[in-house]
């Protein structure tokens, strides 16, 4: 399951959650500001680290699924836009399907900026995966609370943490979304349903309903514990 905690006794599992939470935004900024080769280097190093932590290739690919869908959407929309532009606008390609498709594919898939952006996003998602797979929901919440408590010591505000619950619920909701969707699909296929438009039309209302209910119950549980 994507971004799901995996038990272990590695140094990354033992590292305080607040350190890993602070690391993600700093690492993201560094990757986006760095050269293409730096992103490639960290992508390889993180892959080696994932293998060392016994994360299977299937688990790693599942964590990459949002970026894979985004990459498909990005390239497909770019291809369609360039094909339509070439097919209807240029005299050279006007009404020539093969030439316009060939031109659109060549321009679209040779776009270096898109490839670099996707590579950096893969690297960032990989680092987020390492945090989620080596930290429990409770550890993430305590880590956020530690950070907020430290910040409040230097600000002229109340010393009681009020932001922790909202942020930790938001962070922990990410793996919950993937879990709910996988459960919906398993239930659909268990009833011998087939993958297609009909499946998405039937599952999306259930998916959103379950997610909203879980978020409401989690928020109430936190409010009861604080009250």
Q: How far is CA 40 from CA 56, 119, 201, in A?
A: 20, 7, 38
Let me know whether 142 and 213 are in one domain.
yes
Contacts of 61 (CB under 8 A, 6+ apart): 68
Structure tokens at 179: 């879990």
Let me know whether 85 and 162 are in one domain.
no
135, 151, 184 - which closes a domain: 135
User: Residue 227: its pLDDT value, please?
Assistant: 56
Let me know whether 120 and 202 are in one domain.
no
Let me know whether 144 and 224 are in one domain.
yes
Q: How far is CA 107 from CA 27, 71, 218, in A?
A: 31, 16, 48
116, 135, 154 - which closes a domain: 135
Let me know whether 120 and 147 are in one domain.
no
User: Residue 93: its pLDDT value, please?
Assistant: 53
pTM attached to this predicted model: 0.67
Averages of pLDDT over runs of 10 residues in the chain (227 residues) are: 80 89 86 88 92 88 85 84 72 63 76 84 90 84 82 76 69 74 85 82 83 77 67
Q: For the chain, what is the radius of gyration of the CA atoms?
A: 22
Let me know whether 170 and 147 are in one domain.
yes
The burial class, CB within 10 Å (0-12 / 13-18 / 19+), for 40 is middle
Let me know whether 43 and 114 are in one domain.
yes
Let me know whether 40 and 102 are in one domain.
yes
135, 153, 169 - which closes a domain: 135
Let me know whether 98 and 16 are in one domain.
yes
Owning domain of residue 181? 137-227
Backbone region of residue 81 per phi and psi (left: phi > 0; alpha: psi in -120 to 50; beta: other values): alpha
Could you give phi then psi for residue 155, rounded to 5 degrees?
-115, 150
């Amino acid at each position: 399951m994507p971004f799901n905690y995996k038990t272990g006794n590695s140094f990354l599992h033992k590292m305080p959650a607040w350190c890993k939470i602070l690391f993600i935004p700093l690492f993201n900024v560094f990757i986006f500001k760095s050269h293409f080769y730096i992103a490639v280097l960290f992508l390889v190093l993180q892959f080696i680290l994932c293998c060392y932590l016994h994360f299977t290739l299937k688990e790693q690919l599942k964590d990459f699924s949002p970026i894979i869908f985004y990459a498909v959407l990005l390239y497909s929309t770019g291809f369609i836009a360039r094909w339509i532009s070439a097919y209807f606008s240029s005299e050279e390609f006007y009404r020539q399907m093969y030439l316009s498709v060939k031109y659109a594919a060549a321009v679209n898939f040779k776009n270096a900026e898109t490839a670099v952006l996707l590579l950096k996003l893969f690297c960032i998602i990989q680092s987020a995966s390492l945090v989620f797979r080596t930290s429990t929901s409770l550890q993430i919440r305590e880590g956020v609370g530690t950070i907020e408590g430290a910040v409040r010591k230097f600000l002229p505000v109340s010393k009681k943490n009020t932001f922790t619950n909202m942020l930790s619920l938001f962070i922990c909701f990410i793996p919950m979304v993937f879990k709910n969707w996988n459960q919906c699909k398993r239930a659909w296929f268990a009833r011998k349903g087939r993958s297609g438009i009909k499946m998405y039309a039937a599952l999306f209302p259930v998916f959103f309903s379950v997610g909203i209910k879980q978020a409401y119950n989690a928020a109430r549980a936190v409010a009861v514990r604080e009250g």
